[in-house]
Every structure is written in structure tokens, then in C-alpha cells.
Amino acid sequence: MDKIVGIGNALVDVLATLQDDALLKEMDLPKGSMQLIDEPKLQKINNQFIKMKTYLATGGAAGNTIHALACMGASTGFIGKIGNDEYGAFFKKSLEKHGIEDKLQLSSLPSGIASAFISPDGERTFGTYLGAAATLKAEELSLEMFKGYTYLYIEGYLVQDHDMILRAIELAKEAGLQVCLDMASYNVVEAEKEFFGLLVNKYVDILFANEEEAKAFTGKEPNEALDVLAKMCSVAIVKVGAQGSYIRKGTEVVHVQAMPVKKVVDTTGAGDCFASGFLYGLTGGYSLEKCAKIGSILAGNVIQTVGAQIPADRWNEIKLNIDEVLAE
């Protein structure tokens, strides 16, 4: 089976469930967005967290995807940067526990923290302090980090550092990898539209976007956006929430339904887990339809739990569901 290395912000998620959305207004965090915050804002949030029940998990978009891939038995690695502190140690230990090859760099800054507020309807809002995670530089990347892998998975949140992203892609291409990019967030796409255009047109082989991100990039609704994106890269995926996903490769177009879910608890990690399922299918050489079905199984499971990681006791059933899809 092909190996996948991810590169992203090495974050630790601190999650809290809200009774209502009043706190989001108080914290000036637009519902459903990912806002970058400074240390004073982080302290303000932490003061609220002290009064609430919180849950700790390794996070970051690419980290979530790589984690789920490892849980399915895929061979994975992760490139990122942590601080020399308890959150950094927590992140590093999690990679080790799941058999993910550790390609972490160390920073003198505190480790990155993603404060996640989960609304009663399951929507999540992030206040992210990047800290050490944002200090990974182009010159810290080496060809050795990419050798032996087939795919490089990049989270769109990294695009603020153009030099580092381009260096990672150039090294990956030199090592013979295919490049997968997840657009990450509509507000990131809006802010970096021109650079996303360069990446997708010139380097990206497999592109993941949800309908908001696809619209921010193309100005079009999902089906038309899919056509535009598929002309720019080899495989384009547009996720449309409860309506499932659309995939296009050349003239082949596939629509896969979302997994039926009784109650959405928290949408954190839905896109990340979809990507992990899709890539897992891809590493096994399965059809686009089967790849998307596996993605739907993982996304459908993660939205039934708090946080971006599927609980350990769910994986046996998930693996059975995946085997059923692969046997079709």
C-alpha cells in the first residue's frame, strides 16, 4: 500500500461544547470560522475554558487526516513544528502511539493551540494560536523527509507562508510524490485566492474543497465549480455536506451520498476525515467511487463525536464497513 506524508500546523485542540452562541459574540469569533488569535486573546479564551469542561486532542487539519489514515493501517508520516512544552510532548506522543513517522521540528515558541467552540447545532468555531506551528520554514525541509512516500498531503491553512509551501511541493515532486491539497477554509481561500490558483494550476494532483471553499475560489455553485477545478488538476473533489460529495477526473464524474447520521454532535474534522478515507482508498488502488464511499464512512462517524478524532472503540465497525465497500 502506498505511503502518505502530511505537512501542516501541529496543533493541540482544546474543545468545549457551548450551551448557546453568546460566548462566540463575546469573544468576537464569527460562528463557523477559523480565526487566528494572539496570546492575549488566547489568555482570554483560557479564562473561559477554566470554567468549562474541555477535551484535549491532537489537531491541525493535516494532523487529523494523517491520524485517521494511521488508524486504518496506512503507512504515514507527519511534518510540522512544536514547542518544547507539555502540548508539544502531547502531540509527539500521539504520533508515536499511532505509528506515524515523526518528522517534527522544535521551536522556542509555545506549541500551537486550536481552541474549538462547539455550538448546539454541531457547528464549530476555532480561535487558533499558531505559536510554534507557524514557524516551520522552507530551509528546515529536506528531500529525505519526502523519500519513500507516494503522496504529500497539504492543509490549506499553510498557504500564508508561500516559500515554505513551494519548497515542500518542489521537494515532494523531486522525490516523485503526487501532491494533494485541501483548501481548508473559505476565508483562507478568499485571502489567498491568487496563490491557490498558482498551486492548483501548476502543482496539485488531487484537490479537496467543500462547497464554500469551491465557491470562494471559482465563484460558482458545486457542480460548475467541480468542472472548473477538474480542468486545473487530475482529481477534483467538492464536498457538499449532507448531500455527499462530487468527484471528477477527466470526463469521469462521481456523486456519492453522505452516510446517514441521526444526530450531528460536532462537525470538527469532517473534511479531514473524508480526505483520509478517500486517500486510503487511493493508496489501495480503488475506484473514485469507493474512495469517496470510504471518505463518507469516516466523515459520518467523526461528526457523531466531540472532536476531530474517531474514538478507538468505533474503528472495528468502521473497518467492517470499509471492507463491505471494497467487496462491492
Q: Enter the DSSP assignment of 251.
A: T
- Going by C-alpha positions, the residue among 275, 324, 326 that lies closest to residue 299 is 275
Confidence at residue 161, expressed as pLDDT on a 0 to 100 scale:
93
Confidence at residue 46, expressed as pLDDT on a 0 to 100 scale:
85
Confidence at residue 137, expressed as pLDDT on a 0 to 100 scale:
96
Confidence at residue 112, expressed as pLDDT on a 0 to 100 scale:
95
Residue type, 41: K
Query: Per-block average pLDDT, block size 10, for the chain (328 residues)?
Result: 94 90 91 87 88 88 96 96 93 96 95 91 88 96 97 94 97 98 93 96 97 96 96 97 95 94 82 96 95 96 85 92 93
Distance between CA atoms of 282 and 289, rounded to whole angstroms?
A: 10
Tell me what the pLDDT averaged over the chain comes to: 93
What residue segments make up the domains of the chain, in order of their start? 4-327
User: Which neighbouring-strand residues pair with 15?
Assistant: 55, 116
In contact, 75 and 98? CB cutoff 8 Å: no
Residue type, 19: Q
Confidence at residue 266, expressed as pLDDT on a 0 to 100 scale:
76
pLDDT tens, residue by residue, 204-243: 999 999 999 999 999 999 999 999 999 999 999 999 998 9
Is the overall model pTM greater than 0.75, yes or no?
Answer: yes
Give the list of residues 6+ apart from residue 235 with CB closer than 8 angstroms, or none. 205, 206, 207, 247, 248, 249, 288
Confidence at residue 233, expressed as pLDDT on a 0 to 100 scale:
97
For Cα atoms 113, 181, 28, give the angle at the middle one, nearest 5 degrees: 35
Three-state DSSP class for 122? coil
Confidence at residue 95, expressed as pLDDT on a 0 to 100 scale:
96
| Residue 249 burial by Cβ neighbours in a 10 Å radius (0-12, 13-18, 19+) | middle
pLDDT tens, residue by residue, 125-153: 989 999 999 999 999 999 999 999 999 99
Domain 4-327 has CATH 2.30.110.10: no
Distance between CA atoms of 113 and 178, rounded to whole angstroms?
A: 29
Confidence at residue 139, expressed as pLDDT on a 0 to 100 scale:
97
Pairing mode, strands 76-83 and 101-107: parallel
User: Which neighbouring-strand residues pair with 36?
Assistant: 128
